[in-house]
Chain A
Amino acid sequence: MSLLCEITYRCNLQCPYCYNPLSLRDYRDELSTEQWCVVLAQAAELGVVQTHFSGGEPTLRRDLPAMVAFASGAGLYTNLITQGTFLEDALLDELLAAGLDHVQISIQAPEAALADRIAGTTAHARKLEALERALRRDVAVTLNCVLHRLNHDAIGDAIALAERLGVRRLELANVQFYGWAYRNRLALMPTREQVERGEAVVTAARERLRGAMEIAYVPPDYFDDFPKPCMNGWGRQFMTVTPNGMALPCPAAAAIRTLHFENVRDRALRAIWQDSEAFCRYRGTAWMPEPCRSCDRREIDWGGCRCQAFLLTGDAGATDPVCSLSADHRLVVALREGNGQREPVARRA
C-alpha cells in the first residue's frame, strides 16, 4: 500500500498538463510538519510501505527533509517527486542524510525551447543540472516526462537524452486528463498517429536498451478499448493526502463534488481508510452498474476511473466512458477526435 503526500500545491512552473486542482483557495492552509509526521506514523501503522512526496512542488517546503527523515525512520520507502528547479547540492545533502530512497525528476520536453514553452518559464537548463547532480548521488533516479500533443513527437529525443545522461529508469507517461489537463484537453490530446509512432519508438528503444535502461510507458487510455485499472481499484492500495489534509482515494478525486472527503486533522488515517463514506463508496465491485457488474474484466480494471466518469458524465458511479462498452463512450470518441482544434492553453497563476 502506498501514500501520496501532496505537501503543497504551490509551484513556480505553470504546466498546462498539471493534474492539480484549478482553484487552490481551499488548499492554502497547509498541514504543519508535526501534522504530516502524525499522518506518516499512522500510515506506517496502517500498512503503508511506500510514501511519495509530491505536490505542487514539494521542495518549496523547507521542512521536506524533516518529513523524509521521519518517514524513513518509520520504515517507509521514500520517494520525492519534483521538477528539480530547487534541487541544489545542499538540499540533496539534506535529503540523502534523511534517508531518501528515490527521486523522480520531471522534464517538460527533451529540448530547452520546447520545454520552457510548456513550463511557461525558463527552467529546463536548471532542471537538467539537478538531474545530473542527483545521478551522481547515492539515490535511485527516475526521469519523468508527461506526453501530450505538444511534445509527443519528441519521444525519441527524450530517450536519447536519458541515455546520454546515464538515466537508469525513464518514465514516459501520457497525460491524464484531470485538473489543468482536463481544462486543456483539446490542446493536449495527441493524435492517433502520434501515439502509434511514439509506441513504436518506445518498443524499439526498450529492445535496444534492455538491461541498461528501463522505460516505463503509460499509454493514453483515451485510445484504448478498455479503461486503465485506476489506482488498482478505489481504496485498495492507494491513498493521497492533500496539502490541507484531505484524504483521497486518488489524487484527482477532489474534483468529485458528489463525495465528501474527510480530513486527517479530524480523524485517524485508519478510520478514514476503513470506513469513511468516500473510501467505501466505490471499493470492490458491489457498487458497479451494468455493463461492469456482469463483465469479466471487473476485477481487472475495476470499472476504470471514478474521476474520469465524473468529469465526463457527472456521475462518479458510471462506467468509465473510456470503455468501449460504456453507454457514454461517444464522449471519449468526440474528445479524441476533437484534437487538432486550436485552443490557447490556460495556465495556473
Chain B
Amino acid sequence: MNDAARPRFGKGVKLRHDADGTAMLLVPEGALALNAPAAVALELVDGERSVDEIVAAVISRFDVTLERAHADVHELFERLEVRGFLLLRQGSG
C-alpha cells in the first residue's frame, strides 16, 4: 500500500457510532465491529487525508509505536480494500 494514497469508502460503506462509545463499519449485508484505534483511523477516511496522515493521527491518540500503528492501519485497510469497502486507488469504484 502506498502511504501517500488517500483512501475513501466504497459504495454502501458507512461508519456508525453508538451511544455506548462503540463503533462499527456498516457494509452491504454486514457490520464489522471496530476497536478504538480502527474507529479513529476510519473516521479520518475522507478521500483527502493520506494513509500516512491517518497513521500519525492514530499515534497521537493512542499509546502505540509508529511501527505498530503503521502495521495495524495497513492491515485494516488492506482487509477492507480486498472486499471493496475501501478504495485506495484513484478512480476505482
* Sample (6) of A-B pairs whose CB atoms are under 8 Å apart: A49-B24, A79-B28, A101-B28, A102-B28, A169-B29, A169-B84
B13 CB, min distance to chain A CBs, angstroms: 7
CB pair B11–A139 under 8 Å, yes or no, is yes
Among candidates B12, B16, B24, B31, residue contacting A140 with C-beta atoms closer than 8 Å: B12
Residues of chain B contacted by A142 (CB below 8 angstroms): 28-29
Q: Is the pair A139, B82 in contact by a Cβ cutoff of 8 Å?
A: no
Residue ranges of B at the interface with A (Cβ–Cβ < 8 Å): 10-14, 16, 24, 26, 28-29, 31, 81-84, 93
| Most-contacted residue by chain A among B14, B16, B28, B82 (CB, 10 A) | B28
Distance A297 CA – B36 CA, assembled complex (angstroms): 32
Which A residues touch B13, using CB under 8 A?
140
With an 8 A cutoff between CB atoms, is A138 at the interface? yes
> Which residues of chain A are within 8 angstroms of B83 by Cβ–Cβ distance?
214
Q: Which of A141-174 contact B (CB under 8 A)?
A: 141-142, 168-169, 171
| Distance between B8 CB and nearest chain A CB, rounded to angstroms | 12
A50 contacts the other chain (CB 8 A):
yes
Interface size on A, residues (CB 8 A): 20
Determine the distance from Cα of A79 to Cα of B29 in the docked complex, in whole angstroms. Answer: 8
Question: Least Cβ distance of A105 to chain B in Å?
Answer: 12
- Tell me the A residues contacting B by CB distance below 8 Å: 49-50, 75, 77, 79, 101-102, 104, 138-142, 168-169, 171, 210-211, 214, 216
Contact B28 A169 (CB under 8 A): yes
| 4 shortest interchain CB distances as A-B pairs | A140-B12, A140-B11, A102-B12, A102-B28
Q: How far is the CA of A101 from the CA of B25 in the complex (A)?
A: 13
Are A211 and B81 in contact (CB-based, < 8 A)? Answer: yes
Q: Are B26 and A210 in contact (CB under 8 A)?
A: no
The CA-CA distance from A167 to B84 in the complex, in Å, is 11
Q: Which residues of B contact A49 (CB under 8 A)?
A: 16, 24, 26, 31
Which residues of A are found within 8 Å of B82, using beta-carbon distances?
210-211
In the complex, residue of chain B having the shortest beta-carbon distance to the beta carbon of A169: B28
Q: How far is the CA of A171 from the CA of B28 in the complex (A)?
A: 11
Smallest CB gap from A101: residue in B: B12
A79, B26: Cα distance in complex, Å: 11
Measured in the bound complex, the distance between the Cα atoms of B29 and A141 in whole Å is 11
- Tell me which residues across on chain A come within 8 A of B24, comparing CB atoms: 49
The distance in angstroms between the C-alpha atoms of A104 and B82, with both chains bound, is 20
Cα-based distance from A141 to B24 in the complex (angstroms): 20
Residues of A within 8 A of B12 (CB): 101-102, 139-140
Take A101-B12, A168-B10, A210-B82 as given contacts and tell me if A140 and B28 are in contact as well, using a CB distance cutoff of 8 Å. Answer: yes
Give the CA-CA distance A56 to B31 in the complex, in Å: 26
Residues of A within 8 A of B81 (CB): 211
A171 / chain B contacts, CB cutoff of 8 Å:
29
Beta-carbon nearest neighbor of A49 in chain B: B31
Count chain A CB atoms within 10 A of each CB in B12, B14, B93 and give the residue with the most.
B12
Q: Pick the contact of B26 from A77, A138, A211 — CB < 8 Å?
A: A77
Contact B26 A140 (CB under 8 A): no
Which B residues touch A101, using CB under 8 A?
A: 12, 14, 26, 28
Q: How far is the CA of A138 from the CA of B28 in the complex (A)?
A: 13
| A-side contacts of B84, CB under 8 Å | 168-169, 214
Q: Report the separation of the CA atoms of residues A49 and B14 in the bound assembly, to the nearest whole angstrom.
A: 11
